[in-house]
Amino acid sequence: MPGGPITLRSEVQILSPLFSKKKVRKIKLYLKQFKGIVPDKDLEALERYGDEFFDLHVLNINSTHLGGGVAELLSAIVPLFDRIGLEAQWEVMSGGIEFFNTTKYFYNGLQGQDISLDQRIKQKFKSVNKLNAVRMQDIIKNADIVIIHDHQPVAMINYVEKKQPWIWRCHADIHTPDRDVWNFLLPYINCYDKVILSMEKYKKKGIKPVQNIVHPSIDPTNEKNMDISEKQINKMLSKHGIDRDSKPIISQISRFDKWKDPIGVIKTFRKVREKIKCKLVLLGETALDDPEGPDMYNYIMKETADDPDIYVISEHSPLLVNVLQRASSVVLQKSLKEGFALTVAEALWKGTPVVGTPHGGIPLQIIDGKTGYLAETIDETAKRVIKLLENRKLAAKLGKQGKEHIRKHFLITRHALDYLKIFKEVLKKKV
């Protein structure tokens, strides 16, 4: 199919009627779990697209299979595509510590930090992209659409024979990127057929492909977001030595990354504790492509070593995330820079109020005073948290409104439909 015209399933039916009926039943059974959560019209649209794009081979490439929002999104959206009839594939590039040290420079630069790119860094970036393009050339050749996630593999397009639409999906906050980093990456970005960003304000002059906005999402049926019992919650907390009853829990769930401002979270908590007895849980992990993560984790451990009210947990556990977001009285998301912050959507989905900063995609999820609170400084954040801890009726109201907001705007079925519409657009040239 790559290199020639793409024939959609709705145009030429090559399946036997019996096989087609089995496929339809399988798709309906999978989508049934979303019934009552999302609008019926969205489920019907997914069925139609599943038929139209049946067996369409969509290849996703990113830099890590674990840790961070990109891996989280792919672990949800790829199986969904597969279950509605597409052939969805997810490949992870290989790089090594030196390469990921290099791409961390790029990430910090995209987020707005001043970065100096020397020739060694640029050459390492190019050479690893080339090696991965060669390694994956047969996989790429068989794909009908290729989606490259974030900056780490963006240059792979320069080292392949491009025979299908390529989409660059940027998950980072690129509102005010470092000029040198952006100017280095832009020629690669302009080789793509389409660019997908998380917010309107991330659109950039100089990008030649059409820029589409697709907000990230959560899957309400997976282990991280599904309903769980009070018994499960108490058991998991007890396993980690956290007493749920003695003091209210404040938490932040994020990668151990300076942009998530864990030290600011700790300072906020200590200010809150001056007025209300409470405890803080910092749950996170270090993404495999983030070499700065272990240093940040060690710094946090040193900073909190003598504080019995602060729990720092480094663990990849979707169930523990679910438990903690349900057990917390308030969830914080004190990001200094943020692509989107799915942890906000996750917490609001559990009906837990969130206090976050007005950065990246956080204000799309937290409508100040309605689904949570926005605050910039440590003092402002502490005041909002205290208000929610003192007024549990208000906290419950904001949590309830927050869950409904996430239901309407940030669930995976809407996310998948956004992607499928874009697939239709990029395939028009090939049909």
By CB atoms closer than 10 A (0-12, 13-18, 19+), residue 96 is: exposed
Instruction: Decide if 180 contacts 93 (C-beta within 8 A).
Output: no
State the virtual CA torsion across 378, 383, 385, 391 in degrees, nearest 10: 180
Residue 53 and residue 420 in contact, taking contact as beta carbons nearer than 8 Å: yes
Helix (H, G, I), strand (E, B) or coil at 87: strand
CATH class of 17-217+411-427: alpha beta
d(CA 32, CA 198): 28
Rg (Cα) of the chain, in Å, rounded? 22
**C-beta separation of 178 from 115 below 8 A:** yes
Q: What is the 3-state secondary structure (H, E, C) of 24-46?
A: HHHHHHHHHHHECCECHHHHHHH
DSSP state of 218: B
> 230-409 belongs to which CATH class?
alpha beta
pTM: 0.86
Coil/strand/helix, residue 381? helix
- DSSP for residue 157: G
Q: What is the pLDDT along the chain (431 residues), one digit of tens a residue?
A: 333 333 333 333 334 344 455 666 678 788 899 999 998 999 999 999 988 998 899 999 999 887 678 888 999 999 999 999 999 999 999 988 888 888 888 988 998 999 888 899 999 999 999 999 999 999 999 999 999 999 999 999 999 999 999 999 999 999 999 999 999 999 999 999 999 999 999 999 999 999 999 999 999 999 999 999 999 999 999 999 998 878 999 999 998 999 999 999 999 999 999 999 999 999 998 766 677 888 999 999 999 999 999 999 999 899 999 999 999 999 999 999 888 999 999 999 999 999 999 999 999 999 999 999 999 999 999 999 999 999 999 999 999 999 999 999 999 999 999 999 999 999 985 54
**What's 291's DSSP letter?**
T
Looking at residue 430, its pLDDT comes to 52
Residue 413 and residue 46 in contact, taking contact as beta carbons nearer than 8 Å:
yes
Q: Which residue has the tokens 């523990």?
A: 320
Side-chain half-sphere exposure of 273, counting CA atoms within 13 A: 16
Helix spans in 84-146 (H): 97-110, 119-135, 137-141
Helices (H), 210-286: 230-239, 262-273
The pLDDT of residue 92 is: 94
Helix, strand, coil percentages (3-state) for the chain, rounded to 5, are 50, 15, 40
Q: What is the pLDDT of residues 236-268, one digit of tens each?
A: 999 999 988 789 999 999 989 999 999 999 999
What does the pLDDT read at residue 384?
98
List of residues 6+ apart from 44 with CB closer than 8 A: none
Structure tokens at 406: 């996430």
Boundaries of every domain in the chain: 17-217+411-427, 230-409
* Three-class secondary structure of residue 282 per DSSP: strand
